[in-house]
Structure formats: structure tokens, C-alpha cells
Amino acid sequence: MCPLSRVAAIVAVSRPARVISLLDPGWTFPELGPEYTERHLRLRFHDVHTPGDEQVMPSPEDVRALLAFLATWERNDSLLVHCRAGIGRSTAAAYVAACVAHPEIDERKIAEALRQASPLARPNETLVLLADRELGRDGRMHKAIASTGHGLSPVDVDENDPFELVVNDGNRAP
């Protein structure tokens, strides 16, 4: 996971197999080149947890698009997930990806791995809740994220540092 400001550098060095971009409506997605045409998911919604004036919430359609994209992802291939700050939307999408990639691992363990990898992570609860419903996880994903806390207060932080999520047995997740 990383903030928007680091995407170009990470793509240039790491050449991830797939990229997920989650940005506010009106923001410009990073241009990654023709090789990413079919390997770059672009979703537009604000990093909000409750509806507000002129705020676009994550929708069931966004979650279905995310899950469809993940269905074509080879689990051994690298996946770069980013949002503007690398704190809310990207950490939620990466958590969803890790849960999809590792259905045998308890959602709480994945949430704990995310919290350990990034104390600043504040996964977008709406995105997690919608994915939880779509995947039929009976609230386990949402409860796991809620129970691991909201991360350190990003008051003095404009964006997160890039980090990698490693789940349980040392296998890389997004």
C-alpha cells in the first residue's frame, strides 16, 4: 500500500502485476502506461464513513468491481493498492484483498497483521462493511477491523509511508 505521491516510483521499481487506485471524484488517476490497461482498477469515492453533503460513499457497485478485479488476480502476483494518503481507502481494499486471497485465515488475524504493518491504517469502514456483506462473512470482517482500532491519529501526518501486508504464514498479501 502507498499514497498517491509514491505510485509512480513504486511502479517504476517494483513493476506490480496489478494496481488498484481509489481516489476522490475529480482526482486524476496515475498514468501507468499501456501495459496496465487491463491491470489497473480505478474507483472513485471519498474516504468517508458516513454520508455527508456532496460526499460520494463507497457503493456496492464499487465493491463488486473490486471483487471482480481480485477474481482475475493471481495470488502469487504483486498487487499495489493506493489512495491519496495511503491510510483509509487503500488499507480497506488491501484488507479485502487479503481476506479474499486467504479465506482459510481468520479475518481478525488479517486485521491484526494490517495493524502491525501500519499503525496509521484507518481502513474505510464502509468499504469493509460492504465487502463483508458481498462475501457473506456475517460481519466478521467489519468486526475485526473495528476491534483492532482506528490506528494512530494522523493529525500531523499528511500521508502514510508505503508498506507491505504479510498475512500469517509469511505469504505476501497486497
Domain chopping of the chain, boundaries = 2-172
Alpha-carbon distance of 97 to 86, in angstroms, equals 15
Alpha-carbon distance of 168 to 174, in angstroms, equals 13
Single-letter residue type at 123: P
pTM for this model (two decimals): 0.92
- pLDDT recorded at residue 106: 94
- pLDDT recorded at residue 172: 52
- pLDDT recorded at residue 148: 87
pLDDT in tens, the chain (174 residues): 999 999 999 999 999 999 999 999 999 999 999 999 999 999 999 998 777 778 999 999 999 999 999 999 998 899 999 999 999 999 999 999 999 999 999 999 999 999 999 988 999 999 999 999 999 999 999 999 999 876 655 556 788 999 999 886 554 555
Q: Is the dihedral of CA 169, 101, 14, 87 positive or negative?
A: negative
Q: Which CATH class is domain 2-172?
A: alpha beta
Residue length, the chain? 174
| Residues paired with 113 in a beta bridge | none
- pLDDT recorded at residue 166: 86
**CB < 8 Å & 24+ apart, contacts of 53-59:** 56/24, 56/25, 57/126, 58/89, 58/124, 58/126, 58/127, 58/130, 59/130
Cell 463488486 identifies what position? 64
- pLDDT recorded at residue 151: 60
Looking from the CA of 116 toward its CB, the CA atoms found within 13 Å total 10
